[in-house]
Amino acid sequence: MIKWIAVLISCGLSLLTIFNLNINQEYLYVIYFVLFFIVYLLGLIIIFFIPLFWVQLFIKADFEVKHYNKRFHKLYIIYTTMLLSLFGIKLIVNGKEKIPTNTTFVVAHNHLSNLDPIILNVYFKKYPMVFMAKKSLSKIPFFGKMIKRTGFIFLERDGSTKDAYAIARGIKMLRNDECSIGIAPEGTRNFTNEILLPFKEGTFVLAQKARKPIVVTAFANTNIVNDNLLFKSHKIYLEIIDVLEYDDYKDLTSDELSQKVFDLMYEYLKDKRVYR
């Protein structure tokens, strides 16, 4: 919807502009229409990003975040919702009734695209939520500082004390019911034809230490969204597979819990994933 609104506005402005020009040859109408259309479309894109750029100016690059920030989360949701609309993404969700409503939780998802956490955040917009992510994402233009300010938990993935501190912060946020936390147990995007990559060791330490439910989810089709990103609609499927309460896994080791979640995702995805 958003992209068609932008196209219609650009077309309308282009027509108004050329009608007010004194053009003698008909072929020039077409040339000027295309040129003005491109200019106005680019102008709308710039206007779209101006508020984000303005916000970035007032956020220091080296600031330390300790808590979830509701205001920045709302801003992030507004922009990502518009982006998903621009990309023509239609999300179909099953199992939404399983989502806990009386506590924060950990959302585990498979990872096929950079859009996975964005889609989850937009769908779970009624729930305060941040994600665990690699440190480099905090440097993304326009969005990097904003997601950091929202409270996203960034990891160096080198076993450093910084990572231990970041994980401890996540546990505290869960225990204090500040927000839920999304994680991708595979640790990186799956570019292979394997249904799932092996899960990273210690993935579920957040849930175990905070004694919170684990919402097991799985995406299908996000690995093909980049095909004709702006010129084609994309149906994305999200399944809320199961919710593991703390009592369901408190007696399991980390490896056993990881395997349990892996099996739940695998069983759903084995017949659903679209391969490259």
Beta carbons of 257 and 208 less than 8 angstroms apart: yes
pLDDT tens string 203-246: 899 999 999 999 999 998 887 776 666 667 778 899 999 999 99
| CATH superfamily of the domain spanning 59-269 | Glycerol-3-phosphate (1)-acyltransferase (3.40.1130.10)
Q: Rounded CA gap, 135 and 148, in Å?
A: 10
Beta carbons of 182 and 75 less than 8 angstroms apart: no
pLDDT tens string 7-35: 788 888 887 887 777 766 676 777 878 88
pLDDT 10s digit of each residue in the chain, 276 long?
666 777 788 888 887 887 777 766 676 777 878 888 888 878 877 887 777 777 777 677 667 788 899 988 998 898 888 888 888 888 899 999 999 989 999 999 999 888 898 899 989 988 999 999 888 777 777 778 888 888 899 887 666 788 888 899 999 999 999 999 999 999 888 888 889 999 988 889 999 999 999 999 999 888 777 666 666 777 889 999 999 999 999 999 999 999 999 999 999 998 775 544
Domain extent listing, the chain: 2-56, 59-269
Q: Rounded CA gap, 194 and 139, in Å?
A: 30
- Amino acid, res. 248: D
Q: Rounded CA gap, 101 and 95, in Å?
A: 14
Q: Rounded CA gap, 105 and 250, in Å?
A: 15
Looking at residue 266, what is its pLDDT?
94
pTM score: 0.84
Q: How many CA within 13 A on the CB side of residue 146?
A: 21
Burial class (CB in 10 A: 0-12, 13-18, 19+), 252: middle
Contacts of residue 250, defined as CB under 8 A and 6 or more positions apart, other chains included, come to 211
